[in-house]
Structure 1
Amino acid sequence: MTLTVRDCDQLVADFEAVIKKPKKSATGTYYTGVDLGTACIVLAVMDEHHQPVAGAYRYADVVRDGMVVDYIGAITIVRELKAELEAKLETELVYAAAAIPPDTDELDGGAIKNVIQGAGFELTNVLDEPTAANQVLNIQNGAVVDIGGGTTGISIIKDGQVVKVADDATGGTHLTLVTAGAYGFSISEAELYKREQKNHQELIAVLKPVVEKIATLIINQIAGHEIDELYLVGGTACLTGIEEIIEAKTKIKTYKPHNPMFVTPLGIALSCTDEIS
């Protein structure tokens, strides 16, 4: 199945629809993508035709800077979301794929794999997050920038092939800290304030220095590569106007799909198979 960038927004919209109203597969075949994010855990379920049929998500604090810090909590949430979707689809979800920040497999890949398996899935694939996102974007040349809660991951793609992956420990957590400091909020209050889109126009000016730091990290990671386009995904990319600041700083055309938080989990689901890894 070949997707185009134009298909991305439609796929995300379809996923948003089945989160509210799941659709059963005619054959009963399901593939699940599990995205263990720093701020949010997302499960995306697709049928054998790579169409979204169900999904669920929950904000959580079990992962920090791309690393699982609450192993039991992570398993519990994934297991509960799995059970919720199984009840709606009236079947067992067997196969799942997962993703990790680039270059962290030796540090934490085992923990994430164990979480997926501990929640009752058969793990069939593990890939890095920005590469997973490109399963949806299908970029042939450019860079996918996955701005999560704890890290910013980058995949550089040439002629449809990933030629470099990198990860830097700057992301939404840093935006939350700045928000807390600027408004006198607690960390939890700042996180909730930051999620509300109605606050973004006001926040973007406060958060511009952190976004520019992320842009500088992107510039450093893509040095030596001819990059014509950047594509932003990840929960932190939901911040209204973030793409404009990054484009201005990097001088590279920057695109952001509709609801970028769901692009990576959908890409993970697209990479899932029924062959045990």
Structure 2
Amino acid sequence: MSVFGHYRQPCSGRHGELRAVLLIAFNLYVKVCCVLYIHKKREGKLIAMGSLFSRQPAPLLGIDISSSSAKLVELSRARSGELLLERCAIEPLERGWITDGNIEKFDEVAEAVRRLVKKSGTRTKNVAMALPASAVITKKISLPDGMSEQELEVQVESEANQYIPFSLDEVSLDFCVIGPSSNSPGDVDVLIAASRREKVQDRQGLAEAAGLKPMVIDIEPHASRMAAGRLIERLPNQGNNALVALFEVGAMTTSMQILRDDEVLYDRDQAFGGAQLTQLIARQYGFSLEEAESKKRNGELPEDYASAVLKPFVQSMTQEVSRALQFFFTSTPHNRIDHILLAGGSAPLSGLSEAITQQTGFACSLANPFDGMEVGSGVRLKRMSREAPAYLTACGLAMRRFVS
């Protein structure tokens, strides 16, 4: 993978020598992949923090922080050449600590990440984290071919003013030329990506407060697609030209990405997730929300839970999935998909994937990002298998270790 990076002076700020710079990676297999890398300025030169692109990649943790939990994955290469799952762990977060991707309780989340790292048993300090898609703006534009680097930079910053709703002094901004334009002969397509500097610094500061060294700040849907790509390759015909709907069921939101050959054709978020199940449990049995969430996680629910609460929730979740697909069908020339991948903390709920297949008529399976990997001796297999779909984004972040 070739990486095109450009340092932007507006990225300088309150964190001393550490500055955030948005890099954009592109190749034939991962069509467009935006990544924020943290760099250090030393003696006037930018030096990458770590050997992410070395032949023997430095260890790297993937940590995904959502509104309900923090997930950690660490991968290596087995002697067979296959990926090896060294460690995985989940640490719950209390309601309100993370809201819409924003860190509301910084100290509490940092302490939770410290507990997560300790629970995993890792000694690795380098970490890849991610921003929600809502925190990053991307735009593809066409510019004349043959422009110099300096000319491109000036033109991109001029174009960026049209698409970024805040001052360029407040953002980490970068671009890369991704190839000849298919719609404009003589031009090249250029991808612009930007995030508010404070969003990058929040994730960077969180990692540092937890005793970690931030190496990569990715974008959540890009990380989840990287992990899902391995699963799509295991579909018939290696997933070539297959339309795959990737659903990630979070606590508050269910996101859908329609993928074909590593390209995103359509995406949509639905305001529905595992928090609704917690509310149903609390209402049915008179629990507080905290009690309901704890009992849901630990499987300590009354005998009639499956019929009185779980079944209605599965029906509602199935309807949300079906509705999201209908939005895709009415917005595009497509009228069917080839496969549904179901990820997220609520994905393994009993009967959910079967109900989705029955409702939609399309094959649906759980997205286990560790499928086909070897597993280290320190991983608790039973628990890992049960929680695997929740690790999709964290696994994609951990896979950044092997991007080269």
Q: TM bucket by the smaller chain?
A: 0.7 to 0.9
Cα separation, partners in 2 of 1:41 and 1:112, compared to 1, 3 Å: same
Q: With structure 2 as the length reference, what TM-score do the two structures score?
A: 0.53
Q: Distance in 2 between matches of 1:28 and 1:100?
A: 23
Query: Is the counterpart of residue 55 in structure 1 residue 88 in structure 2?
Result: yes
RMSD of equivalent CA atoms: 3.0
Q: Which residue of 1 aligns with 2:288?
A: 186
Query: Is the counterpart of residue 115 in structure 1 residue 206 in structure 2?
Result: yes
Deviation at 1:147, TM superposition (A): 0.5
Q: How many residues align?
A: 245
Alignment of 1:154-169 (within 5 A): 154-169=256-271
Cα separation, partners in 2 of 1:70 and 1:210, compared to 1, 3 Å: farther
Deviation at 1:146, TM superposition (A): 0.8
Q: Which residue of 1 aligns with 2:111?
A: 76
Query: Is the counterpart of residue 266 in structure 1 residue 398 in structure 2?
Result: no
Higher helix share: 1
Higher strand share: 2
Query: Is the counterpart of residue 128 in structure 1 residue 257 in structure 2?
Result: no
Deviation at 1:58, TM superposition (A): 1.0
Provide, for residues 73-100 of structure 1, a one-character-per-residue CA deviation record: whole Å limited to 9, x for no partner.
Answer: 2222223433554xx44x4422x22234
Query: Is the counterpart of residue 228 in structure 1 residue 301 in structure 2?
Result: no
Query: Is the counterpart of residue 98 in structure 1 residue 132 in structure 2?
Result: no
Deviation at 1:160, TM superposition (A): 2.7
SS at match of 1:252: coil
The amino acid that maps onto 2:206 is V
Q: With structure 1 as the length reference, what TM-score do the two structures score?
A: 0.74
SS at match of 2:346: helix
Q: Which residue of 2 aligns with 1:24?
A: none
Contact 1:144 1:231 in 2 (8 A): yes
Deviation at 1:118, TM superposition (A): 4.0
1:201 to 306, 322, 325: 306
1:245 to 355, 377, 386: 355
Deviation at 1:187, TM superposition (A): 0.6
Deviation at 1:209, TM superposition (A): 4.4
Q: Distance in 1 between matches of 2:208 and 2:328?
A: 35
Deviation at 1:53, TM superposition (A): 1.3
Contact 2:63 2:394 in 1 (8 A): yes
Query: Is the counterpart of residue 43 in structure 1 residue 153 in structure 2?
Result: no
Between 27-36 and 141-150, the greater mean CA deviation after superposition: 27-36
The amino acid that maps onto 2:207 is I
Provide, for residues 100-159 of structure 1, a one-character-per-residue CA deviation record: whole Å limited to 9, x for no partner.
Answer: 444443689534454335432223241224424414424543011111112112221112
Q: Distance in 2 between matches of 1:46 and 1:79?
A: 19
SS at match of 2:283: helix
The structure with the larger Rg is 2
Which runs of 5 or more residues in structure 1 are unaligned? 1-26
